[in-house]
Amino acid sequence: MNQDLKSATDAILQRVTTGAARVPGVVAMATDRQGTIYEGAAGQRVLGQDAAMTTDSVFAIFSTTKAITGTAILQLVEEGRLDLDAPASTYAPDIARVQVLEGFDAAGKPILRAPKRAITTRMLMLHTAGFGYEFFSDKLRDYAAATGQASVVTSTKAALSAPLLFDPGEDWDYGINIDWCGQVVEGLRGRRLGEVMAERIFAPLGMSETSFTLTPALRARLARIHQRGADGGLTPLDFELPAEPEVHMGGHGLYATVGDYCRFIRMWLNDGAGAHGRVLKPETVRMAERNGLGEKKIRMLPGVIPALSNDAEFFPGLSKSWAYTFMVNDEPAPTGRPVGALGWAGLANLFYWIDRQNGLGGFWATQIFPFGDPVSFTGYMEFETAVYQHAVAKLAA
């Protein structure tokens, strides 16, 4: 391990887990194409309890699940079994019943209509199908209040019936699209999404501690989600994603260790090759890392349920696009992340990036609501910056 990188990053982890403005605990790892170049943990799994956060702690990884589901979709495309531009209902029939939310009448009743065109899997991968999230959309928040629409975090079939915010293909908005991609995978494979991932992604990568099911072995090392209060304090929550979910939600449902996720990052750094077998073809990886939105750009996500999310945006003022299924930097980031690098995040303040140009990536894991926590996010930005300051210089040498 690069000792300069270790000392710089250990100091970041210690700082963010101490003092008045702190996170409960954090695990951070960085990797190059060959293996882990930094790993560290600090703080506690649960505030008020003795268990220290360790590098093998288990996290609900929320939307960092999306890229793994996207990989399962890309495998089907490689096999010629999935046409990205065919109606997604060909593979997941229930999606044909989804309607567009036009607004609300004078009595507050939702006004719904049929979409103008069919949703395709390409639209789902690019978040242009029209789906949103209730915590990033006042219309969907109000729809849920008016109808009792199940929240996506229930991991139920009912949660998938949420309406569209616009007609398919006409805009970009971040939402439950990749949960529906999971249904496409299940429709084509005839198996649950987690079983498909275990065989076709986790086994070739050696990801033995990633699952939609919270097993007793994983629970024993689980970090609890905490709520950040208005006064900046932290309270452990009883909230968990379902241990045995009705639906394997491809957009947010996995539990994992940070080490396992870095194995996934390394596969993308290595043109689709894993430690125990190939996951994607190199040409698929090159296709998937490109902007798929054309001139459309992603934008700030407004936090309309303050307990779950603040307003959130990576690198405000810089242009960002979307690939299959990552954010893509159109401009160099102040951390050192170059044009074309990939990345995204998870609701409980988990963050990662994949820089195929420099052969670097990393993952920062905390368990805090609301999303966009300033302490965790600032710590992550400092972590990524430290990796570039110390690791890129070593690579160049």
Mean pLDDT by 10-residue block, N- to C-terminus, for the chain (397 residues)? 88 95 97 97 96 98 98 98 98 98 96 98 98 97 96 95 97 98 98 98 98 96 97 95 95 98 98 96 98 94 96 96 97 97 98 98 98 98 96 64
The question of whether 7 is a catalytic residue gets the answer: no
Catalytic: 211? no
Range list for CATH 3.40.710.10 in the chain: 3-65+196-396
Which residue bears the tokens 């616009």? 166
Protein fold of 3-65+196-396:
Beta-lactamase (3.40.710)
Q: Which of the following is catalytic: 63, 155, 211, 376?
A: 63
User: Which entry of 38, 57, 66, 143 is annotated as an active-site residue?
Assistant: 66
Q: Which alpha helices (H) appear in 198-236, and where do they start and end? A: 203-205, 216-219
pLDDT at position 397: 53
Long-range contacts, 237-242 (Cβ 8 Å, 24+): 237/369, 239/369, 240/60, 240/214, 241/60, 241/153, 241/155, 241/214, 242/154, 242/155
Number of H helices, E strands in the chain: 12, 17
Q: Give DSSP secondary structure letters for 308-355.
A: TB--B-SSTTS-EEE-SSSEEESS--TTSPPTT-EEEEETTTEEEEEE
- Cα-Cα-Cα-Cα torsion 246, 243, 144, 252, nearest 10 degrees, comes to -90
- The pLDDT tens digits for 128-161 are 999 999 999 999 999 999 999 999 999 999 999 9
Of 38, 133, 143, 174, the active-site residue reads: 174
CB 127 within 8 A of CB 174: yes
Could you tell me if 200 and 208 are in contact, meaning their C-beta atoms sit under 8 angstroms apart? no
Question: What confidence tens digit (pLDDT) does each residue in 107-125 have?
Answer: 999 999 999 999 999 999 9
- Is position 66 annotated as part of the catalytic site? yes
The model scores a pTM over 0.85? yes
* Ramachandran area for residue 112 (φ above 0: left; ψ -120 to 50: alpha; else beta): beta
